[in-house]
Amino acid sequence: MSIPEELWRRFQEGDPRALARALTLVESGHPAGRELLKRVRGKGRAKVVGVTGSPGAGKSTLTDRLILEARKRGERVAVLAVDPSSPFSGGAILGDRIRMMRHHQDPGVYIRSMASRGALGGLAGATVAALSLLEAFGFDRIFVETVGVGQSEVDIARVADTTLLVLTPAAGDAVQAFKAGVMEIADVFAVNKFDLPGGERIVQELKSALELSPPRPGGWRPPIHPTVAASGEGVEALFESLEAHHRHLVEHGLLEGHRLERARFEVESVIQEWGRQRTQGAGALVARVARGELTPEEAALALLGPGPEAEEGAL
Amino acid sequence: MSIPEELWRRFQEGDPRALARALTLVESGHPAGRELLKRVRGKGRAKVVGVTGSPGAGKSTLTDRLILEARKRGERVAVLAVDPSSPFSGGAILGDRIRMMRHHQDPGVYIRSMASRGALGGLAGATVAALSLLEAFGFDRIFVETVGVGQSEVDIARVADTTLLVLTPAAGDAVQAFKAGVMEIADVFAVNKFDLPGGERIVQELKSALELSPPRPGGWRPPIHPTVAASGEGVEALFESLEAHHRHLVEHGLLEGHRLERARFEVESVIQEWGRQRTQGAGALVARVARGELTPEEAALALLGPGPEAEEGAL
């Protein structure tokens, strides 16, 4: 199915309702959405910032403040808020972030919630496709906010240019997060709710942990920013660090690598989704695996075939 | 490559060192591991209990206590502790759980840490393969302990017969967890560290949330158990609920559905891993996606081919 040319015209003219419609087409996996993606690919280029951290760390409030900083500098800003979806209902649960409603009247700010569908805590392929739409629409900066600890951090680090990890002094899981390798993913740290007791301790723990972590590409040293998102304290300096990291990527020729990783993530997501669909539709085959008559590898081969590369002996 | 027959003989005789070696072969993706899996498939049947919840909820201590309960009843028990792995080093970080060392001298208890490799917060396909090995080795009960909130909960619910969600009164993220759909996944709840302030409040919140959640298969009503893992308080009643849920599955003919879902998870994991491997090896193709010359779908098709089912028009 082709895109209604009217929609495409309005999208190119910068009509936010056309953008919203386009995002819905992409998110729902509609053929017109895929056609739209083909047209917009490679158009536009935004600074993509992933914002991640534990539930309750204040990511939404902090993002809200960072939007203001970006707007002060004249940037057009989009936010993709990725909500964990129910594995049963399939829909996003948290809905649009209320706190960001203050930007409702600002045409330079666009906020969209997306479900993480089928990948609770992780990023759906559609989220990354939405990034391409937003870039083509002409946004200068896109914040991708993800909830949860785990897969989403790894995913966001693959998709974003800059990854901001938000911690709090109250977070009893901070040390656990360090251990879990999330430390290695973040480019910039915020210790939010710094007015609570224990902020300095967390900063010191972070510093110690960073000294032990492997060196970053180009010798980047992740800065740690105390912030109080509720009052805006420390947010300007945090924004400057996001900018500094982006300059670092450009100066060291690292930006292209990030874009390749994002494309790789998209391809993997497509394959994963195909695998899920084909496996769901293959009840008899799965039953044979459950009975021990087939190995999972044999079932996967039956579902996918050896693939063109394997046929050429390349695998 | 075939399995050394000596290893296979010792595995069948119940030598724990042979089990350890077999698990390593499976975890490393060694061909002998796959061969081993073919031989053990369908042999043995354990009650598989997934233990999940936020970092710091006390899952390890609670599992430690549940092991004691199982041992009192004469069960042979295995624990698979799934540790998030570093996306960079690829290795497990937390290592073997120190607190479970007390079972070191008990031949009826076997504890193994596994990395979640490539799926931080999620379960690797190798973990599920390890379950088959442990079942074939003759364990009556297997606890699979996963760290983190997010993908691991969904995965564990697909793989385990019974899913235990561990919360604490201190967990500020409890309400967030409810929203994130994790509620719908758990069969049994423990409010651990119940001696801390706020325990009753969490229990009440859980009850309210459960009343709003969709009905469970066979009309199962998930029980909520206050526990203090450190002292063992409430653990016996919790264990009885795990047993009650298993009886419920048997009585309502639901156990086979769980095993089918586990097999489906294994097949999907294999496809996902293949997708990752093929995409990693396809730099030129990925670069074309990044440049907008190919869609992710076109790249995936080039990597996988249309698949045998698609050729038959079945997809």
Question: Does B151 contact A at CB distance below 8 Å?
Answer: yes
Which residues on chain B are in Cβ contact (under 8 Å) with A266?
Answer: 289, 296
Answer whether A275 touches B (CB < 8 Å).
yes
CA distance B144 to A171: 25
The better pLDDT of the pair A75, A120 is held by: A75
Whether B267 sits inside 8 A of A150 (CB atoms) is: no
- pLDDT at position B112 is 86
Place of tokens 């209604």: A4
Q: Nearest C-alpha of chain B: how many angstroms from A314?
A: 10
Chain A within 8 Å of B39 (Cβ-Cβ)? no
Residue B4: the pLDDT is 82
Per mean pLDDT, which range of A193-202, A217-226, A299-308, B294-303 is the poorest?
A299-308
* Superfamily the domain B43-252 falls into: P-loop containing nucleotide triphosphate hydrolases (3.40.50.300)
Mean pLDDT is lowest, of A210-224, A295-309, B60-74, for A295-309
Nearest 5°: the CA angle B113, B117, B118 is 160
The per-residue pLDDT for range A18-38, each reduced to its tens digit, is 999 999 998 887 888 888 988
B192 touches chain A (CB under 8 A): no
Q: Which of A40-44, A60-64, B198-202 has the lowest mean pLDDT?
A: A40-44
B270 and A296: CB-CB below 8 Å? yes
Q: How many C-beta neighbours within 10 Å does residue A9 have?
A: 12
Tell me whether residues A259 and B290 touch, CB distance under 8 A. Answer: yes
Q: Which residues of chain A neighbour B302 with C-beta distances below 8 Å? A: 308
Instruction: Return the minimum-mean-pLDDT range out of A152-161, A213-222, A241-250, B94-103.
Output: B94-103
* CB proximity list for B24: less than 8 A, separation 6 or greater: B30, B33
Q: Which residues of A touch B179 (CB under 8 A)?
A: 84, 93-94
Which of B304, B311, B315 to mutate to test binding with chain A, by most A CBs within 10 Å of its CB?
B304
Highest mean pLDDT among A94-98, A246-250, B260-264: A246-250
Tell how strand B47-53 and strand B141-146 pair up: parallel
CATH number of A44-252: 3.40.50.300
What is the pLDDT averaged over residues A123-146?
89
Contact B150 A152 (CB under 8 A): yes
> Which among A143, A133, A114, A119 has a CA at the least distance from the CA of A28?
A114
Instruction: Kindly report, residue by residue over A148-170, the tens digit of the pLDDT.
Output: 555 666 788 889 999 999 988 87
What is the ipTM for the molecules in this complex? 0.80
Q: What is the mean pLDDT of residues A98-103?
A: 58
Q: What is the pLDDT of residue B96?
A: 39
- CB–CB of A150 and B271 under 8 A? no
CB pair distance less than 8 Å for A151 and B275: no
Q: Do B55 and A280 touch (CB under 8 A)?
A: no
Residue with tokens 């081919």: B305
CA distance B149 to B309: 36
> pLDDT tens digits, chain B, 315 residues: what are they?
567 889 999 999 999 999 999 999 988 878 888 889 888 887 888 999 999 887 778 888 999 999 999 999 999 999 998 866 444 333 333 443 444 566 767 889 998 887 765 444 456 678 888 999 999 999 999 999 886 555 666 788 889 999 999 988 875 545 555 555 667 789 999 999 999 988 898 898 888 888 877 889 999 999 999 999 999 999 999 999 999 999 999 999 999 999 999 999 989 888 888 888 889 889 899 999 988 888 888 898 888 876 554 433 333
Calculate mean pLDDT across residues A104-129: 72
Are B53 and B183 in contact by the 8 Å Cβ rule? The answer is: no
Quick one: chain A helix, strand, coil %, rounded to 5?
50, 15, 35
Domain ranges of chain A: 1-40, 44-252, 264-311
Q: How far is B255 from chain A (nearest CA, A)?
A: 12
Interface contact A285, partner B, CB < 8 A? yes
pLDDT of residue B149: 52
| CA within 13 Å, CB half, A59 | 27
